[in-house]
Amino acid sequence: MARTPSNYIYTGVWSGKPTAASAPIGAQIQIADVGLSPSVWTSDGTQWRPDHTISLMTYTNDAGLVFAAGGAETAFGTELSLPGDVFYTGCSLVLEAMFSHGTTGETRGVTVRWGATTGALTTSLCAFTSVSTNSNIIILKRYYFSSATTYRAPATVSIGPASINSGTTSTTIAGLASPGFLNFTATPSAANAVTIYGMSLRLID
């Protein structure tokens, strides 16, 4: 049976929720401002955990959104306002993207930028860069959080089985536990345009 608002101990925005420690284990809340649609979170006695995969941002363009060669890193999509303290130890962010570029082997890619002020997203939260001579790229990259502000992810993700297992690197982003903003960006190279067909960022437990 589908849950209704009367089944939740709280419905509203993230900043007004009760603490997970004050709620019975298994209690659920519905949050209006985390995710593209209202998200459901369950208390484990100490932490609110998403009851399902939460789509934070998504972008699709069947015709392809072109960023011309020689251009600067450029934001696209709709900037997302994100409350503080959404990320926690054990959660993951999953970045997916489908894009194409020229084949001269220069560095180009896509990024999820984060910042504390709208319109000034200066910190790279999730990123993928390609030096491949393949023209069509499909990526799936997962970021595992070891705290509210630190995650571990593949150091590099190159195209081809010989370079998939590249080790991991740990990254700490100061201020990530505070409210901020997210957006997608694309970066062409001097000789290679980048064409975006789809990109998404999801939060999972």
Q: What does the pLDDT read at residue 161? A: 42
pLDDT tens digits, one per residue of 157-199: 544 444 445 567 888 988 889 999 999 999 999 998 999 999 9
Using pLDDT thresholds of 50, 70 and 90, give the confidence band for residue 16: very high
pLDDT (average), residues 140-165: 72
Q: What does the pLDDT read at residue 159? A: 47
Among residues 57, 58, 61, the alpha carbon closest in space to that of 196 is found at 61
Which pTM was predicted?
A: 0.88
- What is the identity of the amino acid at 8? Y
pLDDT (average), residues 11-27: 96
Q: Mean pLDDT of all residues in the chain? A: 88
Q: Which distant-in-sequence residues (6+ apart) come within 8 Å of 52 by Cβ?
A: 39, 40
pLDDT tens digits, one per residue of 22-35: 999 999 999 999 99
Q: What does the pLDDT read at residue 131? A: 73
* Alpha-carbon gap, residue 131 to 47, rounded angstroms: 40
